[in-house]
């Protein structure tokens, strides 16, 4: 079976506009959650979020490009350019290179703006490029066009597991010999009035900050941004002299086939077991788990129970953290940005912390690396994503 490695990474998210800036913020335990700066925020009950601040789209794109690019597409293109540059991806067969990207909301900002134009302002016309801007596959399509990737190109939308499912699909595509190189990850920009108002109705949103695994947690906080990676056949990467950051050793996806919003311990446990089996790992070889860790009472409790079920006695020796406490929940892009913490653990031996943690919860009795980053020698990690709809996706990485 072909082995798949990561040779490039890029990001723009609330913690930083590059991988280096993001990982520096993770090391320092910086929390990017703050007051929302969006239109009609005074009509919202939830007025906090993790925004990409000090961002001017005109610094990155021309007016002609911006006519086609929703905010989520802009983020994907910025992150993708960084990843391709780091991977030094110049000499490759374009027919053997593709893209699979995750998103949940797609062009939600475009949708929100144009609903206002039609229903609030009473306009009878909208811009002719509205559909190309708002469609969920826009970011993947523009990545393929920008970088000349003529192989498989698709978009995955599975709510909060979109990025992990996308990365799993990229892994499978290369393993199957359908491509040598895949850009993959996720992009999301749901911090607009309609996006926040819809989530308010679920009553899972915190109004102060995100405190995963803390006994006094009150819910999740939304974020935005993107992270994109270059996944590559290992032999292909070695042949062109690329630097390998980590190996994508395994992946598994499961469905709870139960409730549309309530998490399942069994579904999460089967996904973790499946990813380890696919990677050829035993539980004791895994040193760190980047948790789904949304900060809701049910999710955190269920995830901890699943970890204890899967890892048994080793669960006490595992390090686990939720970086959503710093960058918020990026929904369809969450798993992609969180993979940066996994790479940091493998390449630098630094475990990103769960910040804002104030009180131990007996239902979350694991080593969750609270508030301060920690040094640890780990050679294998898991990244968990457990989405609404009962869709679970776990990625396993190992040291290069």
Q: If residue 119 lies in a helix (H) or strand (E), which one and from where to where?
A: none
Can you tell me which residue has the tokens 């609270």? 370
SS3 280: coil
Quick one: tokens of 88?
């030094």
DSSP secondary structure string, 188-214? Answer: E---SHHHHHHHHTTT-B-SS---TT-
CA gap 370, 127 in Å, rounded: 48
pLDDT of the residue at 113:
95
Phi, psi of 367 (to 5 degrees): -80, 95
Give residue 386's pLDDT: 98
Residues 71 and 333 sit within 8 Å (Cβ to Cβ): no
Can you identify the CATH homologous superfamily of domain 4-239? Thiolase/Chalcone synthase (3.40.47.10)
pLDDT at 72: 98
Q: In the prediction, which pLDDT does 73 show?
A: 98
Confidence of residue 334 (pLDDT cuts 50, 70, 90): very high
What is the pLDDT, as a whole number, of residue 182? 99
In terms of pTM, does the model score above 0.95?
A: yes
- Average pLDDT of the residues of the chain: 97
The CATH number of 251-399, from 3.40.47.10, 3.40.50.360, 3.40.30.10, 3.30.365.10, is 3.40.47.10
The alpha carbon of residue 51 and the mean position of all alpha carbons in its chain are separated, in whole angstroms, by: 15
The predicted pLDDT at position 61 comes to: 98
Q: List beta partners, residue 167.
A: none
The domain locations on the chain are: 4-239, 251-399
pLDDT at 143: 98
Per-residue pLDDT band at 261 (split at 50, 70, 90): very high
Domains 4-239 and 251-399 share a fold: yes
pLDDT recorded at residue 48: 98
Q: From the CA atom positions of the chain, what is the Rg in Å?
A: 20
Query: Could you give the CA distance from residue 79 to residue 220 in angstroms, rounded to a whole number?
Result: 24
Question: C-alpha 31: how far from its chain's center?
Answer: 17
Annotated catalytic residues are 160, 292, 329
**382, 247, 396: which is closest to 319 by C-alpha?**
382
Q: Indicate the pLDDT class of residue 353, thresholds 50, 70 and 90.
A: very high
């Amino acid at each position: 079976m072909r082995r798949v490695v990561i040779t490039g990474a890029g990001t723009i998210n609330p913690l930083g506009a590059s991988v280096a800036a993001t990982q520096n913020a993770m090391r320092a335990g910086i929390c990017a959650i703050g007051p929302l700066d969006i239109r009609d925020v005074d009509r919202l009950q939830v007025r906090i979020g993790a925004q990409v601040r000090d961002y001017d789209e005109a610094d990155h794109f021309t007016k002609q490009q911006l006519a086609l690019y929703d905010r989520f597409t802009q983020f994907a293109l910025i992150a993708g350019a960084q990843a391709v540059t780091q991977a030094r991806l110049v000499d490759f067969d374009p027919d053997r290179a593709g893209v699979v990207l995750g998103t949940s909301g797609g062009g939600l900002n475009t949708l929100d703006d144009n609903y206002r134009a039609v229903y609030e302002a009473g306009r009878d016309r909208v811009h002719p490029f509205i559909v190309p801007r708002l469609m969920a596959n826009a970011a993947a399509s523009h990545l393929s066009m920008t970088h000349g990737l003529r192989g498989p190109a698709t978009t995955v939308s599975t709510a909060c597991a979109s990025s992990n499912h996308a990365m799993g699909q990229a892994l499978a595509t290369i393993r199957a010999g359908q491509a040598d190189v895949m850009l993959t990850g996720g992009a999301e920009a749901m911090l607009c009035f309609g996006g926040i108002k819809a989530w308010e109705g679920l009553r899972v949103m915190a109004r102060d900050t995100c405190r995963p695994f803390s006994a006094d947690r009150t819910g999740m906080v939304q974020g935005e941004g993107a992270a994109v990676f270059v996944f590559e056949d290992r032999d292909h990467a070695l042949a062109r002299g690329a630097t390998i950051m980590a190996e994508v050793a395994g992946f598994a996806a499961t469905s709870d086939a139960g409730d549309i919003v309530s998490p399942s311990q069994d579904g999460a446990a089967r996904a973790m077991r499946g990813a380890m089996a696919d990677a050829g790992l035993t539980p004791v070889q895994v040193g760190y788990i980047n948790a789904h860790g949304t900060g809701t009472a049910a999710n955190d409790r269920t995830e901890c129970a699943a970890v204890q079920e899967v890892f048994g006695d080793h669960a006490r020796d595992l390090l686990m953290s939720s970086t959503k406490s710093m960058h918020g929940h990026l929904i369809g892009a969450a798993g992609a940005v969180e993979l940066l913490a996994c790479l940091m653990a493998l390449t630098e031996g630094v475990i990103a912390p769960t910040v804002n943690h104030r009180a131990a919860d007996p239902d979350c009795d694991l080593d969750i690396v609270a508030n301060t980053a920690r040094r640890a020698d780990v050679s294998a990690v898991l990244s968990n994503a457990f989405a609404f709809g009962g869709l679970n996706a776990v990625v396993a990485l190992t040291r290069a």
